[in-house]
Amino acid sequence: MTVSAETRRSGGAARHRPKGSHRPSGGLLSPALHLAAVILSLALACGAAADDAIQSTAAIEQTAERYLRAALEHTHGGTVVVTASQVDPRLRLQACDAPLEGFLPPGRDPLRTTTVGVRCPGGAPWSLYIPVTVEIHSEVVVAARPLRRGTRVHADDLRLATREVSRNRHAWFTRVEEVLGLEVRRAVREGDILTVQAVVEPLLVRRGGEVIIEAGGNGGVHITGRGEALQDGREGDRIRVRNLDSGREIQGRVIAPNRIEVVF
């Protein structure tokens, strides 16, 4: 029997691998591929961490809107719409590790403000101001017909209607009862909002009119007399009056229609 040199070296029959077969790799990456995978994983992790460390601009805008809306709903009611301007996306603030807070400078009227502050009270504090716009739709008292200056207001002169009121310079009325009996200070068009500047307490005393003078003192003495009003007056006003009996000019407080109180 002839034994080949390979058989003799191996101590047995010659072992032949089938054609086209490969030596198994055991599922391991080459050192170069393994290093590349590690570098890619680290890069992705660092990128995610960097994104997490930047404060969301949307959260800043939402904080400003939520804060001002709550303040206006508390003081004015109605439907409040607050829109914050978009924060510059290039702004790279550190993500706050505490809930964001909205604020206004001391003394700032929430209805008149054009900016709202947002701050981070966390370990790395920061603050900034966001421009905002406001709309308030509320049910208010309006004129049911044109009202001329000097008109005493009655129930059929008024009605309730929903209006956008945020741009009103003066306070408005929300109940018809608050306006009844007041006097129109300036002409009001039909549908206009009745504000505190549009109406006043009515005149109870008119200049040149005859009035009753009530005079009294701490001793319980009470005297009445006739007088002539030298000024117009509303309830609580101090006006000048001429005593028709003595001709003396005195000052008194308007307490009722054509009635003046003098204390001595």
Digit-coded pLDDT (tens) for 87-145: 998 999 999 999 999 999 888 889 889 999 999 999 999 999 999 999 999 999 999 99
- Of 133, 135, 100, 136, nearest in space to 115 by CA: 133
Domains of the chain from N-terminus onward: 57-136 (no CATH), 137-200 (3.90.1210.10), 204-263 (2.30.30.760)
- Of 153, 145, 144, 257, nearest in space to 198 by CA: 153
The Cα–Cα gap between 168 and 165 comes to 5
> Contact at 8 Å (CB) between 140 and 172?
yes
Digit-coded pLDDT (tens) for 216-252: 766 666 788 999 999 999 989 999 999 998 899 999 9
